[in-house]
């Protein structure tokens, strides 16, 4: 057999032999079935994956991180369950304490999994979508940089007659390591953010932008276009300020709306990992 072909076959076989992300978490759910703190986090992740796979918005997540004191709690539980010197207790302790770092890493990797599997970068939960729908009401909205269109689809589900225009440059479809733009959940018009705003500025009351690419100035270009327009259109921005999303120019020059309405927008948009994104209303 051709050496190159043999190498490819071996690589595929190895890939098939490695349990998937979800298979690994399912295994650890059984392993930690007596430890509610771990079980709750794993069950939340598995349920979110089930809903996303079914085309439904997921639920809000708890913080996906093994607590610092959990190993002490695990030790105490095992000591209460087994008699001192019982080999079964020692075996369970060895197995679970050795598994903890892997569980912690898998939980921390959930955002990466969702990005790669579903092309969802900002975690768009059902409770947040309800808050967003309440904020914009039935006013016509434009979503730019929509990716696969999770925000737009969620709004349309809640307000079926609402005008929701969904756009994206679709540049992500050239990437090979994630599903952004490859699995759209609604109809998406191929337009970059500035072009989309210029086309629809006179038809919408809000612009929604979730997770503008890190370091690129597309968000700043859009904000300047909005300000240069004769239309007073607020920009609802989901991102991590001076963090994983957007450009410094954008965050430096944004004028932030701060009131009870914005607080309500963030009621169910809570960090679940090391990314601290939130919802901003910017002019």
**What are the tens digits of pLDDT across the range 193-203?**
999 999 999 99
Three-state SS at 226: helix
Give the lowest-confidence range in 8-17, 108-117, 174-183, 209-218.
8-17
Query: Residue 272 has what pLDDT?
Result: 97
Q: Which two tokens stand for residue 36?
A: 């509610």
Q: Is the pTM of this model over 0.85?
A: yes
Q: What is the pLDDT of residues 267-281, one digit of tens each?
A: 999 999 999 999 999
Residue 175 has pLDDT above 80, yes or no: no
Q: Which of 28, 37, 109 is nearest to 70 (CA)?
A: 37
Query: Residue 170 has what pLDDT?
Result: 86
User: Does residue 38 contact residue 70 with C-beta atoms inside 8 Å?
Assistant: yes
Q: Which of 261, 109, 129 is nearest to 185 (CA)?
A: 129
Alpha-carbon span 18 to 38, nearest angstrom: 23
Within 13 Å, how many C-alpha atoms sit on residue 110's CB side? 28
Alpha-carbon span 87 to 147, nearest angstrom: 53
Neighbour count for residue 114 (Cβ, 10 Å) = 23
Domain with CATH 3.40.50.150 in the chain: 121-282
Please report the beta strands in 2-158, taking only residues with DSSP state E, as ranges in sequence order: 141-144
User: Does residue 190 contact residue 125 with C-beta atoms inside 8 Å?
Assistant: no
Element spanning 174, H or E: none
Q: What is the pLDDT of residues 114-142, one digit of tens each?
A: 999 999 999 999 999 999 999 999 999 99
User: Does residue 154 contact residue 126 with C-beta atoms inside 8 Å?
Assistant: yes
Alpha-carbon span 176 to 116, nearest angstrom: 10
Give me the CATH topology for the region 121-282.
Rossmann fold (3.40.50)
CB neighbour class for 166 (10 Å; exposed up to 12, middle 13-18, buried from 19): buried
Those residues with Cβ within 8 angstroms of residue 52's Cβ, 6 or more apart along the chain or in another chain: 58, 114, 117, 118, 120
Alpha-carbon span 32 to 24, nearest angstrom: 12
């Amino acid at each position: 057999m051709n050496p190159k072909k043999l190498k490819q076959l071996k690589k595929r076989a190895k890939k098939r032999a490695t349990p998937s992300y979800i298979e690994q978490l399912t295994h650890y759910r059984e392993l930690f079935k007596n430890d509610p703190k771990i079980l709750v986090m794993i069950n939340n992740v598995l349920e979110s994956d089930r809903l996303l796979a079914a085309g439904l918005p997921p639920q809000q997540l708890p913080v996906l991180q093994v607590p610092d004191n959990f190993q002490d709690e695990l030790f105490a539980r095992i000591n209460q369950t087994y008699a001192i010197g019982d080999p079964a207790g020692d075996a369970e302790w060895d197995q679970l304490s050795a598994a903890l770092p892997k569980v912690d890493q898998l939980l921390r990797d959930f955002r990466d999994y969702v990005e790669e599997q579903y092309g969802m970068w900002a975690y768009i939960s059902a409770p947040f979508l309800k808050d967003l729908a309440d904020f914009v009401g039935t006013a016509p909205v434009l979503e730019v940089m929509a990716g696969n269109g999770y925000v737009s689809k969620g709004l349309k589900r809640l307000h079926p007659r609402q005008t929701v225009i969904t756009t994206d440059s679709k540049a992500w479809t050239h990437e090979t390591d994630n599903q952004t733009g490859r699995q759209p959940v609604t109809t998406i018009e191929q337009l970059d953010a500035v072009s989309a705003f210029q086309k629809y500025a006179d038809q919408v009351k809000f612009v929604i932008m979730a997770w503008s690419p890190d370091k690129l100035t597309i968000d700043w270009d859009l904000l300047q276009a909005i300000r240069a327009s004769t239309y007073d259109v607020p920009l609802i921005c989901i991102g991590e300020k001076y963090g994983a999303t957007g450009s410094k120019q954008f965050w430096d020059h944004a004028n932030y709306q701060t009131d009870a309405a914005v607080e309500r927008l963030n009621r169910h948009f809570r960090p679940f990992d090391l990314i601290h994104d939130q919802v901003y209303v910017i002019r």
